[in-house]
Structure 1
Amino acid sequence: MKYLFLFLSVISFFPAFAQVTVNGRVLDARSQQPLEGAVISEATTGNQVLTDASGQFRMVLASRFDTLVVQRVASHRLQKLVPPQSRKQVVILLEPLAVNLQEVVVRGYETRRPLQKTAGAIGLLSTRDLERFSQTTLVPALNTLPGVRMEERATASYRISIRGSSLRAPYGVRNVKVYLNEVPLVEANGTIPLNMLDAATISNIEVLKGPAGSVYGAGTGGTILLETLKPVESSVMAGAQVGSFGLRRGFASASVASEKSNLLLRFDRQTLDGYREQSALDRKTVLLSGQFFPNQKQTFSFHALYSDLFYELPGALTREQFAANPRAARQQNKDQNASLNVEGLNLGFVHNYQFNERWSNTTSLFGVFSFLNHPFVTDYERNVNQSFGGRTRTTYRTQIGSLPTRFTLGAEGQRRFVNARQYVNKAGTPGALNYDDEVTVQEGFVFGQAEVDLPSDFLLTVGASLNSLRYDIARVSEAAANPNYEQTRSIDAQFSPRVGLVKVLSPTLSAHASVSAGFSPPTEAEVRPSDASINLALQPERGVNYEAGFRGSLFNQRFTFDVVGFHFKLKETIVSRTTPSGVAVFANAGSTKQQGVEVAAGYAFVQAPAKAFSLLRLWGTYTYTHFRFLNYQQNENDFSGNRLTGTAPHVAVAGLDAESRLGLYLNATANYSAEVPLNDANTVYAPNYFVVGARAGFRRAFAQTWHLDLYAGVDNATDRDYSLGNDLNAFGNRYFQAAPGRNFYSGVQLRKRF
């Protein structure tokens, strides 16, 4: 009896020992947001559980070596072998096969609603969209969005146009607000330092087109929301890439993640000899970011981004020089060793607190510090920049009668300071001091917004902001001789309202319309250009935008579409032109009328994750614009009725995505742009161009915890000579900045999960 009892005890013990309880979480691989309603199945028994609203699940498996099958509508079906350390939370990432507009939650306009229920033209780029390209730059990815044009005048010298906003940006990014992890990304002189970012550290992008002043303050061009990578599991990762024209790139990262916190440390370095003469690049970035979840009510997140950037400036060419040798640099740029060297540190801290079901608050604090060492063609600039600021918003959810309503009230403010010293450039070394300026900019706004769910599936949004700005400029190098060396300019408080309305026509179709007003004050770099002048008479731009559109999906979400038309009238338009010495100066140009249509559509011919050939999707975007100057008089020249400088009337992008269950993938992209006027007189045009590129690779998980991505690609496969970042209204007819010719790249990424 004793041995029989022992035998029965052992038999009963083995099943208990073999069984294992798995706690896990299912996240969207693109947005890293929790997925509710995902089906978790045990491969052996077929038992199933569903994830809750936070993506959590708990399941008892027959064996610690059993396999989980995870699937969800519009997502990949994933099989995952449970690792031996079963006490650890299992994080499962599901890649969507198609865009489900009912589930894609956007941050734009502070609504936190699905895209289908958001009024406004919004472009979205996920991690998967960004990884279609080499990730050495954001240019090709952003240029897939209708109405958006990102240009690269020289290596890492970027310019972004949203619906024609590049008119006032001869270099840098202006008239477009950019937020990085919910904090403003801006230098003290008012330009956006996108070249300080490494494209591979960005995981998601939202682009709001047109004035969004109701919640983002001053700006008529648009708003871009960037989000850096966030770890969802403990892992180490490394990769390398090489390519044409001396491209060398490498990175290494480590992350730790738990239910209460996550932390990411990543180092990237990219060097390039350059397609053109005098166009080398060397950029090093270090990103430290993390999140802490002390309880269910609050979340702390932070990022610290350090960048050390150097790149050379080849200068623009005339049409004859461009035709003779597009790879040449302007001789004066070479003689003066024209280049830019800047070190910067961007710090951001965000706190989210959910007081109860009705009240919540998000507050962010930030600091930006940089030192610029810039030998230019005509001068040598040494600038020290620092910015401090914060943003807060409080949301209250209630009901007015039977109508669900949400109120948001917030404010944003920042103080920027730059000490700018300009010297004579002596072949790349500073000579005699020309001037020494100290500039302080104080900018802020308050905003409010109300959202109401109306009967018959209407959603109404009403918002507004009140903005203020002040410049204090002191030319301290003239303090002893000039009693008026200090100057001040204040911009009167400006009111920017916005009204949006959405009608949900069906579960897969909605229509939207909005009216928004915005204003955009001149930046410090425009008030104080490099020719030593100070233009306090420069007026802010003001405009009103009307738009309407519809978006949705058909054929079981295989076909998705987003169409919007807009009419934007801008007064006191700021334009740039180049002086004989090569310095960009600015002036108001009367008014402009900008109207157009933007279309994005895609069709998934194959959408079967369980089959050998799992995905075949064709997509495309098209932008038609009719942009014209109104009442634009420049001295004796009347440019009224001319096409808006720097904008193409037709832009089209098409792409093909193919994937197999084995891990093979192909992403092909074709871009077409019609001719672009390069001066206000419309006498010089950049010719149209058509370029094609592709990336193919093998992406596979193996040995349970390893993930490999081996890839190769080609850009500008037809070797077309074209100018992507033209100089507008350039003196001496030097308009053209050649884009790279045909170039190849290949790389590898390897990740180890713990």
Structure 2
Amino acid sequence: MKLSHQNINRFLFGLFLCCFNTISAQNTQKDSITQLDEIVLTQDAIPKKATGITSSSKLSTQAFERFNPTDIPSAINQISGVYILSGAINTNRITIRGIGARTPYGTNKLRMYFNGIPVTNGTGSSTIEAYDFENLGAVEVIKGPKATAYGSNLGGAILLDTKASVQDKTQLINSFTVGSYNMLKDNLTFSHSEEGFNFSLSYNHLETDGYRQNSQFQRDGLLLNAQFQTGQKSSMALLVNYIDYTAHIPSSINQTDFEEDPTRAPSNWLESQGFEANKYILTGLSHTYRFSEHLQNTTSVFYTYLDHYEPRPFNILDEFTNGFGLRSRFAGNLGKAQFTFGGEFYKDEYHWGTFENLYEENNGNGSLQGTQLSNNTEFRRQFNLFGTLTYPFAKNLSAQLGLNLNKTHYDFRDLFNQGEANASAERDFDVILLPNLGLNYQLKNGKIYANISRGFSNPSLEETLTPEGVINPDIAQETGTNYELGSEWTLFQKRLSANIALYRMNVKNLLVAQRVGEDQYIGRNAGKTRHQGLELDLQYRGKLSRSVSFSPYLSYTLNDHSFVDFVDGDNDYSGNPLTGVPKHRLSSGVDLQHANGLQLNLTHQFVDEIPLTDANSASSSSFNVFHAKLGFRTSLSSHISLGLNAGINNIFDSNYAQSVLINAVGFGDAQPRYYYPGNARNYFGGVQLNYVF
């Protein structure tokens, strides 16, 4: 464990403050100490955002708190069918049922919403690292293209929601955590709630040196969330999220370095001291109006800004994006039928340029900006219309029809080259109609559901351009049809919940970003894939004694994904397993809780080997990784409660790849760099102080 004296002192100082406040409170309120009621949120208690009978998976705050507060991938990886490959805190790739696994970096082919506001950019890219783990109250995932009201992307939709203010309370909460690699994290939240008004303001800070060379990270953020009544039938909500972070980039490494010393960074990234600096802001204003008991509308306007600067060994990228849009959704019922309809418009302006990186001439001081190499602007528009109708044909049988219409337009401007060398062009995709049909049969202790839906994915920026910066006029949107059959059960007096789903999705016009240089890709459509699999989620809630409760859980994913028709030049990869996807994945654990406030969380994840090349000539090794966290909560007075926790990540010190880069190319005599190592065994501990006014 690598803890600096400075961080230890900060931790002790934080603990001293907690103890000081505790002693003060006890001296002034010795005769008025009462036990605060603990609120335990089950997943069923989280309000569902998915429309009508659409199935979805949910995680509550309780599920997040099983892990280190910097480890959002492990939390979300508890959901079957969803896998986050995490190369670093700032490098996450979310795949759902194998969709998105071929994306070189980042997350695309799904839609992400934060408190109901779209946060996916104009080419379908989403960044979950823009949100502080400790501010999240719930995550809901709609797998596959059946989301309709949240886009019909092949990967589905992820709905993030902030923690709700505790009704009729004013409180101040501070969570302070330190850990290995000089990690320090603090989250300070003030919240107030009264009739017709809810307000919360959070500040968060995170810093760490990281496990690997050149992996320092520092982030500061502010989150403002307010809701207030403006009349008997109307209310407003304001959301502001600001993040400012600098993350050094250790990049991927080859197999020799991965096996001998996974802390290494490639020499060119280390010498250039490669990093990314980001300033990101999201602002959204929402208005809800209830016309009657049978109809209401929520309309949101929003603005996003991203300023990104990234020195890489091969060049320096300097970019900024302005995005804005509007989303309006009506919901209501007409007789027995329930309906939703609305629209979503998003437009952004993406400005980027590249410059020479003269780090080799900078006397060991890292990156140095040189001559400009390119200057570009892209205007991107996306428009969605959506509607669903849910109708109960019988007491136990309901059907739902959904339609989504999408229109996408790209306008690329080359501001650097003149004359014939100028690559300015437009790409106007055809209107695409995406239907969705679902059935739901309710049983005494559960339900059975079926779904057929059509989805799409837009090409990313890299996939629309050739290496010469020219828009590829032949690139088409990926499309696919999803077939799904599932069931959800609550048994043994609701102590056991069991969910199982079988699906098959056929995707055509597969988008492939073929790497032709260190930072050059050619986008093309390259055949068909078949995504089919099984997902199983089990959770049991029981008691070992009158004072000890326990809750074991398990999520299993079977991915039987393959290329149906994929020919790359002279190579025919048809029939091969899909690159970048493990066939088997298991997330399991047990929560133990004592009535005195003591809680133990034991978690485990198994990930099968992952094909690293389309030819299946190389694969990552399968791995098991185990974590443990011990926590204690108690009320110290009628106003103050205290939480303490400590944990160990990667208990058995496994050397494993937390993320991989598929189809990596070794330039010159260099080995291909496939691997992003996971952290070695590491530790963390924290204090939380909650003061209720």
Q: TM-score, normalised by structure 1?
A: 0.83
Matched with 1:470 is 409
Instruction: Provide the C-alpha distance between the structure 1 equivalents of 2:264 and 2:389, rounded to a whole number of angstroms.
Output: 55
SS at match of 2:74: helix
1:444 pairs with 383, 387, 403, which one?
383
2:99 aligned partner: 165
Partner of 1:352: 288
Deviation per CA, 1:568-595: give whole Å up to 9, x if none: 1000111234334244443322000010
Residues 319 and 214 of structure 1: CA distance in aligned 2, closer, same or farther (over 3 Å): same
Relative to structure 1, the CA distance from residue 467 to residue 124 in structure 2 (aligned partners, 3 Å threshold; closer, same or farther) is same
Residues 587 and 724 of structure 1, relative CA distance in 2, 3 Å threshold: farther
Structure 2 residue identity aligned to 1:418: Y
C-alpha separation between the residues in 1 aligned to 2:199 and 2:308? Answer: 30
2:441 paired residue number: 503
- Superposed, 1:564-643 pairs within 5 Å as 564-606=501-543, 611-613=546-548, 615-643=549-577
2:60 counterpart residue number: 126
Aligned partner of 1:95 in structure 2 is 40
Which residue number corresponds to residue 425 of structure 2? 487
> 2:580 aligns to what SS in structure 1?
coil
**Match for residue 691 of structure 1?**
625
Structure-1 residue corresponding to 2:278:
342
1:106 maps to which of 38, 48, 52: 48
Q: Is this contact kept in 1: 2:43–2:60, CA < 8 A?
A: no
Q: 2:343 aligned to 408, 411, 424, which one?
A: 411
Taking the aligned partners of 2:88 and 2:75, their CA distance within structure 1 comes to 18
CA separation of 1:220/1:687 partners in 2, compared to 1, >3 Å: closer, same or farther?
A: same
**CA positional deviation for 1:405:** 0.5
What SS is found at the alignment partner of 1:526?
helix
The amino acid across from 1:432 in the alignment is T
CA distance in 1, matches of 2:466, 2:194: 50
Out of 485, 488, 495, the position equivalent to 1:548 is 485
1:535 maps to a residue whose letter is: N
Q: Which residue of structure 2 aligns with residue 300 of structure 1?
A: 236
Q: Which amino acid aligns with 2:426?
A: T
Aligned to 2:16: none
Q: 1:460-508 CA distances to partner (integer Å, 9 max, x unpaired)?
A: 1101011100000000111x434854210001000000011110011x2
Secondary structure in structure 2 of the residue aligned to 1:383? strand
Shift of 1:519: 1.1
How far does residue 258 in structure 1 lie from its aligned partner after superposition? 1.1
Q: Secondary structure at the match of 2:292?
A: coil
Q: Secondary structure at the match of 2:101?
A: helix
Distance 1:531 1:556, change over 3 A: farther
How far apart are residue 66 of structure 1 and its match?
11
What is the DSSP-based 3-state SS (H/G/I as helix, E as strand, rest coil) of the residue aligned with 2:675? Answer: coil
In the alignment, is the contact (CA less than 8 A) between 2:426 and 2:471 conserved in 1?
no
Structure 1 residue 190, shift from structure 2 partner: 3.6
Q: Measured at CA, do residues 525 and 386 of structure 1 come closer, stay the same or move farther in structure 2, by a change above 3 Å?
A: farther
- Deviation of the 1:162 alpha carbon: 0.4
Deviations 1:235-259 (A, max 9, x none): 1121211111111111222122211
1:38 is aligned to none
Structure 1, gaps ≥5 residues long: 1-64, 68-78, 82-91, 112-117
Q: Indicate the residue corresponding to 1:430 in structure 2.
A: 369
**Which letter does structure 2 place at the counterpart of 1:172?**
G
Which string of whole-angstrom CA distances, capped at 9 and with x for unpartnered residues, describes residues 39-87 of structure 1?
Answer: xxxxxxxxxxxxxxxxxxxxxxxxxx999xxxxxxxxxxx967xxxxxx
Residue among 661, 676, 679 paired with 1:727: 661
Counting only pairs closer than 5 Å after superposition, residues 662-677 of structure 1 correspond to structure 2 as 662-677=596-611
What secondary structure is seen at the aligned counterpart in 2 of 1:332?
A: helix
User: 1:269: how far off?
Assistant: 0.6
Q: What corresponds to 2:165 in structure 1?
A: 231
AA aligned to 1:442 is R
Query: Deviation per CA, 1:280-320, whole angstroms, max 9, x where unpaired?
Result: 11111111111102344222112101110111111211111
Residue 601 (structure 1) shift: 0.4
Out of 295, 303, 306, the position equivalent to 1:367 is: 303
1:544 partner letter: T
**SS of residue paired to 2:459:** coil
Map 1:208-219; keep pairs closer than 5 Å.
Answer: 208-212=142-146, 214-219=148-153
Q: CA deviation at 1:125?
A: 0.5
Q: Which moved more, 1:164-173 or 1:511-520?
A: 164-173
Equivalent residue runs for 1:523-538 within 5 Å: 523-528=460-465, 532=469, 534-538=471-475
Aligned CA distance change for structure 1 residues 210 and 298 (closer, same or farther; 3 Å): same
2:134 is paired with a residue whose SS is helix
Query: Tell me, what secondary structure is at the counterpart of 1:238?
Result: strand
Report sequence identity in percent: 27
Deviation, structure 1 residue 365: 1.1
Task: Could you tell me which runs of 5 or more consecutive residues in structure 2 were left unpaired when the two chains were aligned.
Answer: 1-30, 360-366, 667-671
Contact 1:577 1:728 in 2 (8 A): no
- Within the alignment, does 1:382 sit opposite 2:318 as a pair? yes
Alpha-carbon distance in 2 for matches of 1:385, 1:698: 44
Which of 327, 330, 333 is matched with 2:266 structurally?
330
- What letter corresponds to residue 469 of structure 1 in structure 2? T
Residues 528 and 304 of structure 1: CA distance in aligned 2, closer, same or farther (over 3 Å): farther
Q: Secondary structure at the match of 1:173?
A: coil
Inter-partner Cα distance in structure 2 for 1:408 and 1:381 = 42
Could you tell which deviates more after superposition, 574-583 or 649-658? 574-583
Question: How many angstroms does 1:525 deviate by?
Answer: 4.1
Q: Secondary structure at the match of 1:200?
A: helix
Name the structure 1 match of 2:205. 269
**Match of residue 612 from structure 2:** 678
Shift of 1:535: 3.2
Q: Deviations over 1:334-387 (max 9, x none)?
A: 122211111011111222211111111111111100111111231111111010
Counterpart-to-counterpart distance in 2, 1:550 and 1:360: 31
Measure the CA separation in 1 of the matches of 2:58 and 2:147. 20
Residue 520 (structure 1) shift: 1.1
Identify the residue that residue 186 of structure 2 maps to in structure 1: 250
* Distance (whole Å) between structure 2 residues aligned to residue 685 and residue 575 of structure 1: 19
Secondary structure of 1:333's match? helix
How well do the aligned residues superpose, as a CA RMSD in angstroms?
Answer: 1.9
Partner of 1:561: 498
- What is the rounded CA distance, in whole Å, between the counterparts of 2:88 and 2:466 in structure 1? 20
> In structure 2, what is the Cα distance between the partners aligned to 1:651 and 1:179?
26
Return the TM-score normalized by structure 2.
0.91
Q: Aligned in 2, Cα 1:244/1:172: closer, same or farther, shift over 3 Å?
A: same
**Counterpart residue type for residue 281 of structure 2:** L
Please say if residues 213 and 464 of structure 1, whose CA atoms lie closer than 8 Å, have aligned partners that are also in contact: no
> How big is each residue's C-alpha offset from its partner over 1:90-139, in whole Å with a ceiling of 9 and x where there is no partner?
xx87424x655xx654101x33xxxxxx343x221001111111121310
Give the structure 2 partner of residue 7 of structure 1.
Answer: none
Q: What residue in structure 1 maps to residue 676 of structure 2? A: 737
Counterpart Cα distance in 2 of 1:154 and 1:119: 33
- Give the superposition deviation at 1:529: 7.3
* Paired letter, 2:356: V
- Structure 1 residues 585 and 664: CA distance shift in structure 2, 3 A: farther
Q: Match of 2:215, as an amino acid?
A: S
The whole-number CA distance in structure 1 between the counterparts of 2:465 and 2:544 is: 55
CA–CA distance in 1 between the matches of 2:220 and 2:648? 24
Which of 128, 145, 151 does residue 194 from structure 1 map onto?
A: 128
Residue correspondences, number: 649
Q: Which residue pairs with 2:10 in the alignment?
A: none
Which amino acid in 1 is paired with 2:99?
S
